[in-house]
Each structure stands twice: as C-alpha cells, then as structure tokens.
Structure 1
Amino acid sequence: MMSIRVTDLFIYPVKSLRGIRLERAQLDIRGLEDDRRWMIIDDKNKFVTQRRLPAMALIQTQLTESHLILKSSQGECAIARQYAGTGTPFSATIWNDEVQVLDEGDAVSAWLSDALDGLHANEPNLAKQKKWRLVRLANQPRPMSKPQYLGAQTHTVFADMAPLLIANQASLDALNSALVAKGETPVPMNRFRPNLVITGLAAFAEHRLAGLAGQGYQIRFGYPCERCVMPSIDQMTAAKHPTMEPYITLRDINSMPAYGKGEYAKPANPKAAAFGENAYLAHAQSSLLLVGDTFQVLHDES
C-alpha cells in the first residue's frame, strides 16, 4: 500500500488571521486543537474573512498557555484562553449557520478596529466607521455542517464547513508548474490555508481517495474543497492578484470533480476550482498528529 507522510501542520486560532505552524497537534471531531476557535464579526453580527478584508492576513496570532496574542503594526493584544468576560451568549452568523457566541469585550474590539482600519488605510470604504468584534463559541455547539458528507458525529467551531483541510504538496507543485508556464509567479502553500500538508500522492490524486489510515484512527475525506478568491491574496502583503491568479489557472487544471452518492451526488463543475480535501476524524475520539507521521491510503469500497 502507498505510504503518505505529513510534512506540515497548521492551525489558525482566529478565522482568517495568520496561522501557526506546529510540530504536533491533537485532533478530535472538531478538528485540530485551537483551530478557528475565535472569529471576527461586523456590526451586524456576521462573520468576516479575508474575502472582505484582505489585510486580516497581516494580523499574526500566537498562543501561550494562558493567552491568545494578536500582533499587528498597531502593537499587541492579549485575550485569555479561558473566557474572562462577563457577557451573555448572543447569535452570530457564519455562512448559513446561526451560532451562539461570547464577545471578548470592548478593549479587544477597539484594538481590532484600530488595527484593521490602519491596515486598510488605502481602502477606507472597507473598514472605516466599522466596529469589528472578536468572539468565541459559547457552550452550545455549532449546528452540524453537511453531515451527509462529513460524518454524523463531526462538528466544527468556525471553520467554513469541515473540521480539517488536507492539502497535497504534489498538487501545489503541479499548479506552480502551470503558473510558471504562463509567466506567473509560483505561490506558497499558505495561500490555501490547510491544516495538514501531505506528500506521497500524485498531483490531485487526493480527490480519488476515501481518506487516510493512521495508527488506530482514520481521516475520512468528505468532498473536494471548492476554492474562492482567497488564494489570490498574498498572505504576507495582503495584495490581491490583479487577474485572480492562481485561481484561474487552478480552475483550468483542476476544476471541481463530481462527488457524493445517491441523493447527495454532486456533478462536476468545470467553472469552479478545487484544491485539497475537506476531511474529518473517524474511528477514534481523538489522536495526536505529528509532522513526519505516515498514513496508508483508503479507497472507496463501493
């Protein structure tokens, strides 16, 4: 059987802010520990990402034993990992889900608003006069997202849909070869914000697998990740590519394949780009993942 190796592990403590590379991470049905445990909302209690505010990529995150630290050109802001506020839960929207959240307070909101306003100084209509707030999930779990593809027991916190995003290094290499052939600049893996990066598969072969088998657990693949315009945002500068690369090239070489079965079958979509697999933990309550871990591939038994 083919052996697959983990080359990188990433978490993104605050949705759409800069991530953290790890050597090890605990995995459960909600994904990697500390991944997307906070998100930013607007004055209508709706989630905000780089799709709307590209400069969110420039705010760094750090985790200590006791605090989440946010860093930008405006300085630092510390948030206790154990909720220290006095607020009551309220409803916020992430995609089609209504979630109960807790606000991290006015001081954090003021810091975020100043930071994002400063980072978007050349785009005043995006951030000016906005009051951005940082929230965490309250005690009530988020409603299930796509259990027909992601398993009946999975949950996410503030990831878009799936607990995990698995990316294949060979797929990025193929994309970069196609970009260079067009005279474009290669892009790093951080454009796609994966949780796990793996090697050992051919380019885009991940879309033809059922998942990966580790020691005493499985990571099941739910469906290919349909990409939006976010990969066109440079994660180090927040600049958008003027012609939406690498999205256009990715769509040309790896459009969304068909997935699902029976009433949940989805046809291929040649107008959309795919990169990576939305995935979840199966056959275990939790597992420790390490850079260098190896997997065996799982194929669909049907």
Structure 2
Amino acid sequence: MAGVTDLISYPVKGCAGTSTSDALLTPAGLAHDRSFMVTSEEGVYRTQRRHPRLALIQPAISNDGTRLTLDLAGADTAALFGAVRLDVITSAPRRDVDLFGAGFQGIDQGDEVAAWLSEVLGVPSRLVRVPPEHDRIADGLTPGPSGYADSSAVHLLSRASLALLDQRMAERGAPPLPMNRFRPNIVIDASPGDGPDGDGDWAAVPHAEDRARRITIGGSELGYAKLATRCAVTLVDQRAGARQGPEPLRTLAAYRRATSGGVVFGTKFSVTRPGKLSVGDDVVVEEWGDAEL
C-alpha cells in the first residue's frame, strides 16, 4: 500500500496551488481544481510556458465556490499589487475560449479582476470560469470529465519517483527540485503493504504508479488514463515565477522518454468514483498493468 502525503488543488489554471488536509474528489477532480483559467482578450489560454509569473498568483476559493481571492506571493509584489476579491459569476453570457487549440466556453469574471491580472502579467488578460454545462471528456485509457486541466482530472506522483530524479540530477551536478515543479494533485509515499510483485511498499519503487490501473483512496476510485507528458512549465521556479534553466527536462529526457517522443513523469487518472480524500489515507492498487514506457 501507500499513503497520501499531500493534496493540492489549483483553482486557477497555471497559478499557484493550495495544499489541504482534506478534499472532495468530484467527477472532474479535486473540488474547484482548474475551474478558472486566465486567457488573452481573444480567449486563448495563458500558461506558465509563456507567462511564468502566473506561478506567483495565489488563489483562494470558498468551499462553496462563490468567492475567489487572488493575491501574490512575496511581500514586495503583494504590497505593490494588493489582492483582488470577487463574487464568482455563474450566469453571464458564455464566451468562446481556446485550450490547446480546442474550443470551449467560459464565463467571464469581469473587468476588475481582468485589470488586476493584466497589470500583474504585463499583458491584457481576462479570467473565465468553467460553465456548469461544461462537458469536456479527457482522453486516455480511462476517459473522464475534466475542467481546464491540460488533460485528465487527477495528476498523481510518488515521492520515490521524485527522489530518483533528484538522484539522477545530482549525478549531473544539478540541485534537487521541490515537488511543486510538477504540480501534482495527489502526492503519495510508501507505507507497509503488498506491491505488484508481492514484496511490499510498492510506492517506495520509483514510477510504480505508472503500472497502477485502478486505485482506491478512501471511498473514491481512480482509473488510469495516461502518463503525464512534461513541458516547459517544469522549468519554472514556482516561488520566483521565472524559468531557471534546463532541468528537470534535460535529465528526464535521458531515462523517461516515451515511445511517442515526449518526456513523461507522473501519472494521470480519471475519477471513476467520487468521494472524500484526506492526507494519511491508504492508496490501494486494485489492478496493475504494464508500464507504457
């Protein structure tokens, strides 16, 4: 078995995450995860790939999803821009938005937050919310609903996988990286139990999560969708809001290159049974498969 060591939600796509000890797992992932997105005035999604300062924006959303606050990390920047607070708009006319070239709908959240984002990012920007009728289904071995996430609803990563990456980077003279470089939703670590080969502590084996096909956590269940393909967002220091060089992609490319050509690290899952998650919950693999790498 394994245990949950961290739960992180990202209410605004591309912005900072919020760790919590308990979370509701909905059909589209952790409650409110990627339910908002920053776009250009034309509706094209913004991401840390081109706007790394998004990482400095710290969202806070009420449990019922009706109030959203955006603030900035760091005393200097926070004092310069202040925070913006808004009542979430759910009934305005929809507008077209673009996410990786796919067309969806969004509910614009008004001029005040748009002006704040435009000033922080240095480019004209808007904030939109996923509409209630949003019916996006992400692909993968187990398709499932997803908000404005890159693909599937849940990204799971083990501490053992990160430890191996840090070890390989150290061999190249590079410093270790924090877990937030990879922006997972569920972080797991080893606890006593039986692994896929009957040798216990499966989560202590780097990338064992790649082989998990059906997972139960508490009363919820996840179905394997795909490996997580990594991009330039992993190059962004999440505390500084700036790119910091070639790692970890340089090291990952040496041992985690998929047959499709992409670099993979971590695993994406769809929600097959919603429920409540808590730090400390057992993570039980009900079905194993072969790694796709």
Q: TM-score, normalised by structure 1?
A: 0.84
CA distance in 2, matches of 1:214, 1:64: 24
CA change 1:57–1:217 in 2 (3 A) is closer
Q: C-alpha displacement at 1:250, in angstroms?
A: 1.3
CA distance in 1, matches of 2:69, 2:276: 24
CA distance in 1, matches of 2:158, 2:132: 34
CA distance in 2, matches of 1:190, 1:174: 16
Comparing 64-73 and 103-112, the one that deviates more: 64-73
Contact 1:99 1:142 in 2 (8 A): no
* Structure 2: stretches of 5+ with no match in the other structure: 191-202
Matching of residues 1-302 of structure 1 within 5 Å: 3-65=1-63, 66-72=66-72, 73=77, 74-81=81-88, 83=89, 87-117=92-122, 127=123, 131-146=124-139, 148-151=140-143, 154-200=144-190, 201=203, 202-242=205-245, 244-256=246-258, 268-269=259-260, 271-282=261-272, 284=273, 286-300=274-288
CA distance in 1, matches of 2:142, 2:39: 26
CA distance in 1, matches of 2:135, 2:100: 12
Q: TM-score, normalised by structure 2?
A: 0.86
Contact 2:17 2:59 in 1 (8 A): yes
Query: Runs in 1 of length 4+ with deviation above 3 angstroms?
Result: 214-217
CA change 1:59–1:237 in 2 (3 A) is same
* Matched residues, number: 268
SS at 1:289 equivalent: strand
Q: C-alpha displacement at 1:301, in angstroms?
A: 6.9
SS at 2:137 equivalent: coil
Q: Write out per-residue CA displacement over residues 56-82 of structure 1, whole angstroms, 9 at most, x where no aligned residue.
A: 11111122355211012211001224x
Report sequence identity in percent: 30
CA distance in 2, matches of 1:211, 1:255: 24
* Structure 1: stretches of 5+ with no match in the other structure: 118-126, 257-267
